[in-house]
Amino acid sequence: MKVCIIGQGYIGLPTAVLFADNGCEVVGVDINPNIISSLNSCELHIEEPGLKEKLELAINNKRYSASLNPQKSDVFIITVPTPNNIEDLSCDLSYVISACESIIPCLGKGNTVIIESTIAPMSTNKIIKPIFEKAGFEIGKDLYLAHCPERVLPGKIIEELINNDRIVGGITLQCSNKAAEVYETFVKGKIMKTEAKTAEMSKCMENTFRDVNIALANELTKICSKIGVNTLDVIELANKHPRVNIHSPGPGVGGHCLAIDPYFIYSLAPDEAKMIKLARNTNNSMPRFVVDKTKEILKDNSTTNTNIKQIKNPKIAILGVSYKGNTGDTRESPALTCIELFKKEDFEIGIHDPHINDENYCSFEECIENASICIVLSDHEEFKNLDYDLMKEKMRNPIVFDTKNIVKNNNSKDLKIINYGNL
């Protein structure tokens, strides 16, 4: 089987090497010439455990090559980004549409086309199907079209692509059957067949479910902080109930999925999707909450014990910028919004993230030097055990505000650790 995969990013590339690993001939297509030349020399442009080894093997076995142009194949898989449209936050299908148009000259009767990109419900039927019909194909007869969303967690992509259950949503039953055969090449999880529109809604709803539940945890934090209850204890105790799973509160929700996909549903039915929109607003309000709480903490701990403006030029040390622990991925990261808000209020800030190379960021030591408070915004492994002695020595006020509840308490009287439990 020859497979052509359009988009060689976080999903397209790992999918490509897994097909190659399982005996297929694979062409990985991307519009970025730098990505194509680096992939052909076995250089990765994304960080993902196990990917490099698999790419090397695929190239050495001559089963994988990267190209700027699609080639005639049996199967075409589209894995390109789908951001929000600026005006109404609906699903921007422009990359998907141009990827579909780009494969038309290579399509032949009996081919299968699979859209893996996350798309708004009804997109396959209303927007993608007509593109191929216009080109003369009858869907379900001489071309098979399906939406098969991926559901993998960055950092575990290879493992989850193989083992997770997979939704296969065809335009017709024959389309679902053909798409299922494609994934049987390497998927060990269950392959569940359905209609395209159901697959689209399921994928958007998976991320929306998580976003709404995180919003509930964040709302709980605000309530508990107002009335003086320990949020983290509440969550721990409530979650002992066999049917309760309160998520973790934090500085907001980032990433390219949870912070984006709920709007795809909302923009289709704004009058009905009230809870979905409220959850987005709640999660988007968390950076403001973090900044306001930081100011309160500084005020409470100021030596003059009066007004924050009277602490002369407090310096804020930001620990962690990425949206997800142990990665350098900053897409939609709430830490970036916190930084912007602090800057707008003219706070001096130092920024440290051991997973990100950025000339504006500095070492841990430089970051905490003379700081009045350290704010942990990403749950990186490195932040679990902070160097308390160094902090006591270097910081003006040895206070840590841990918004991710990961910093281990050293029970030292000299270093104050504040989290969402004791705000």
Using rule CB under 6 A, residue 420 touches ligand SAJ: no
Q: Token pair for residue 221? A: 């934090």
| Cβ neighbour number for residue 407 with a 10 Å cutoff | 22
Using rule CB under 6 A, residue 222 touches ligand SAJ: no
Closest distance of CB 246 from ligand SAJ, Å: 9
Using rule CB under 6 A, residue 255 touches ligand SAJ: yes
For ligand SAJ, the binding residues in 188-207 under the rule CB under 6 A are 206-207
Annotated catalytic residue, options 54, 129, 178, 203: 203
Of 35-43, 102-110, 136-144, 151-159, the window that binds ligand SAJ (rule: CB under 6 A) is 151-159
d(CA 211, CA 260): 10
Of 220-228, 252-260, 311-319, 406-414, the window that binds ligand SAJ (rule: CB under 6 A) is 252-260
Whether 337 and 391 have beta carbons less than 8 Å apart is answered as no
203 is known as an active-site residue: yes
For residue 15, give the amino acid letter. T
- One DSSP character per residue, 146-166 reads EE------TTSHHHHHHHS-E
In the block, tokens 């194509």 appear at 36
Report the residue number, 207 or 372, with the smaller CB distance to ligand SAJ: 207
> Residues of 349-381 as b/e, b for ≥16 C-beta within 10 angstroms?
bbbbbbbbeeeebbebeebbbebbbbbbbbbbe
Using rule CB under 6 A, residue 257 touches ligand SAJ: yes
Using rule CB under 6 A, residue 38 touches ligand SAJ: no
Using rule CB under 6 A, residue 99 touches ligand SAJ: no
Closest distance of CB 148 from ligand SAJ, Å: 13
DSSP-derived secondary structure letter, 309: G
Residue count, binding to ligand SAJ (CB under 6 A): 19
Of 119-127, 149-157, 354-362, 389-397, the window that binds ligand SAJ (rule: CB under 6 A) is 149-157
For ligand SAJ, the binding residues in 310-339 under the rule CB under 6 A are 323-324
Using rule CB under 6 A, residue 253 touches ligand SAJ: yes
4 is known as an active-site residue: no
Using rule CB under 6 A, residue 100 touches ligand SAJ: no
Among 250, 287, 314, 320, contact with ligand SAJ (rule: CB under 6 A): 250
Using rule CB under 6 A, residue 287 touches ligand SAJ: no
Using rule CB under 6 A, residue 187 touches ligand SAJ: no
Closest distance of CB 250 from ligand SAJ, Å: 4
Whether 411 and 352 have beta carbons less than 8 Å apart is answered as no
Using rule CB under 6 A, residue 246 touches ligand SAJ: no
For residue 211, with 0-12 CB atoms within 10 Å meaning exposed, 13-18 middle and 19 or more buried, which class applies? buried
For ligand SAJ, the binding residues in 350-409 under the rule CB under 6 A are none
Using rule CB under 6 A, residue 74 touches ligand SAJ: no
In terms of phi and psi (left: phi > 0; alpha: psi -120 to 50; beta: otherwise), the region of 96 is alpha
β 143-147/166-170 pair status: antiparallel
| Cβ neighbour number for residue 179 with a 10 Å cutoff | 30
Closest distance of CB 412 from ligand SAJ, Å: 27
Closest distance of CB 106 from ligand SAJ, Å: 27
Nearest to 377 by CA among 406, 341, 357, 355: 406
Whether 128 and 100 have beta carbons less than 8 Å apart is answered as yes
R_g of the chain computed on alpha carbons: 24
Q: Tell me the angle at which helices 51-60 and 12-21 cross, rounded to the nearest 10 degrees.
A: 50
Annotated catalytic residue, options 148, 257, 338, 374: 257
Using rule CB under 6 A, residue 248 touches ligand SAJ: yes
Closest distance of CB 254 from ligand SAJ, Å: 4
DSSP H or E stretch at residue 12:
helix 12-21
Residues of this chain that interact with ligand SAJ (CB under 6 A) are 118, 151-154, 206-207, 210, 214, 247-248, 250, 253-255, 257-258, 323-324
Catalytically annotated residues: 203, 257
